[in-house]
Amino acid sequence: MSFNSLCMNNLWRSVFIEGNIASGKTTCLEYFSKTSNIEVLTEPVSKWRNVRGHNPLGLMYQDPIRWGITLQTYVQLTMLDRHLSTMSAPVRMMERSIYSAKYIFVENLFRSGKMPEVDFAVLSEWFEWITQNIAIPVDLIVYLQSSPQTCHERLKERCREEEKIIPLEYLEAIHQLYEDWLIKKTSFNVPAPVLVIPADDDLQKMLHQYEENREKILAGSNV
């Protein structure tokens, strides 16, 4: 079905853009934001860096054992708020999801011994309650599959203050969790079909790949 008929038939569509830190999600969304009839929702990182004058993202990187629960509770709330906001266009493209918050970032904190078991248990209870009682619309997951090395280079270039201390090993752990979830499909429930886009290429080639996949992303043909 073409994008135009999708709009005419009022078939609303929700797409998550998933991938490692600095894999190019925001850049991808910026590209698609130039298309009419698409609503783009980036991650609310500015909120995570400033909630009533506090910076839970920075605190988490400084002392994950103490502040991991604080950041991830707020991430869960802000992502749920994003998921439930009224759609303003027939296609919504959203950066990450409440699922990756739990299956990737909370899981990584817990597995690496940086989240106490009680914090993990409370966050898991919240997550299970939310996903069992509230419908989270999703039709497609686009996975920007990049190597941890590429992400590390891009992260250094982007130079976000809080992220300066992120080592390559952290990105490797996040990468492995993403691969298990969306490629091998061995770890957690995958709530929608997955479209994998290799994301190590330079910007020009990435924009070309986005064009090639436009129909699949926006209208869901042959994922």
Ligand X SMILES: Nc1ncnc2c1ncn2[C@@H]1O[C@H](COP(=O)(O)OP(=O)(O)O)[C@@H](O)[C@H]1O
Ligand Y SMILES: Nc1ccn([C@H]2C[C@H](O)[C@@H](COP(=O)(O)O)O2)c(=O)n1
Residues that are catalytic = 95
- How far is the C-alpha of 219 from the C-alpha of 223, rounded, in Å? 10
Q: Which residue of 6, 7, 21, 194 would you call a contact of ligand X, by CB under 6 A? A: 21
The residue range among 20-28, 114-122, 188-196, 206-214 that interacts with ligand Y, by the rule CB under 6 A, is 20-28
- How far is the C-alpha of 162 from the C-alpha of 60, rounded, in Å? 9
Shortest reach from residue 50's CB to ligand Y, in Å: 13
Name which of ligand Y, ligand X, none residue 117 binds, using a CB cut-off of 5 to 8 Å depending on partner kind. none
- How far is the C-alpha of 95 from the C-alpha of 25, rounded, in Å? 7
- How far is the C-alpha of 98 from the C-alpha of 58, rounded, in Å? 20
77 binds ligand Y (CB under 6 A): no
User: Is residue 102 within 8 Å of 76, Cβ to Cβ?
Assistant: yes
27 binds ligand X (CB under 6 A): yes
Shortest reach from residue 174's CB to ligand X, in Å: 11
Shortest reach from residue 11's CB to ligand Y, in Å: 28
User: Is residue 181 within 8 Å of 174, Cβ to Cβ?
Assistant: no
26 binds ligand X (CB under 6 A): yes
157 binds ligand X (CB under 6 A): yes
Residues 182-221 that bind ligand X (CB under 6 A): 201-203, 206
User: Is residue 180 within 8 Å of 111, Cβ to Cβ?
Assistant: no
163 binds ligand Y (CB under 6 A): yes
Token pair recorded at residue 49: 């860096």
156 binds ligand X (CB under 6 A): no
List contacts with ligand X (CB under 6 A). Answer: 19, 21-27, 154, 157-158, 201-203, 206
List contacts with ligand Y (CB under 6 A). Answer: 21-22, 25, 43, 45, 57, 71, 75, 101, 105, 163
Give the annotated binding-site residues for ATP: 19-27, 154-158
Give the annotated binding-site residues: 19-27, 154-158
